[in-house]
Amino acid sequence: MIRVAVVLLFALFASNQVLADVYKYVDPEGHVYYTDDPKNSLYKRIIRTRPKSYAKALPFVSVNRKRYADMIAQAAARHQVDEKLLHAVIQAESAYDATAVSSAGAVGLMQLMPDTARRYGVTDRRDPDQNIDGGTRYLKDLLRMFDSNLDLAVAAYNAGENAVIRYNKSIPPYPETRNYVKQVLALYNR
C-alpha cells in the first residue's frame, strides 16, 4: 500500500499538472505525510512549482531580459557570480516576470521565499533590484557551500540546501528538482 502511494506521488510530481508546492513531514514513529498546505514548520518543502504567471511571461522573456540586464550585470559583478548563471536561474524561476508569485509565496524574478529574503536583508521582494541582489547572494552562498558544484548549488536553489545535504550532497531524487537542474544548466550553457 505504501509503495503504491509513493509511486503515485512521484508520478504526480513528474506530471506537468502539479500546481502547488509539496511538503513532507516524517513523524517520530517514521510515518511520512505529504501536503500542499503545511500547518507548521515541521513540514519541509520537497517540490517547488513555478508561479502561475510563468507561461504568460514566456512571450516577453527577451523584452524583460533586456529590461533587467543592467541590474543583473551589477549584482553579478558586485557578488562575483556568473552573470549567465543569474540569467539562467531567473529565466527558469520567473521567465523574467518581476511580479511572479508562486503558490507557496515565492516572489519576484528570483522567486525569493520570505525566510530567504529576511536572511539576505531583502525588505521588498517585489522590488527587482532587491530581489536580484538577495537571490544572487543566496546563490553565491550555495556555490560556496557546495564547493562551486553548479549542479548542487542549482538543486539547492530549487529544493533548499538542507535537501541537498540530506541526500549526501547530491541532487535530491525529486523529479521537479532534477528537471529544474537540467533546465537551468541548459539555459546556462546556451
- Residues annotated as part of the active site: 93
* Distance from C-alpha of 36 to C-alpha of 39, rounded to nearest angstrom: 10
Q: Which amino acid is at 64?
A: N
* Distance from C-alpha of 119 to C-alpha of 108, rounded to nearest angstrom: 16
* Distance from C-alpha of 87 to C-alpha of 110, rounded to nearest angstrom: 10
Pairing of strands 32-35, 44-47: unpaired
Q: Is the separation of the CB atoms in 152 and 133 below 8 Å?
A: no
Identify the DSSP state of 51.
P
Distance, CA of 155 to chain centre: 8
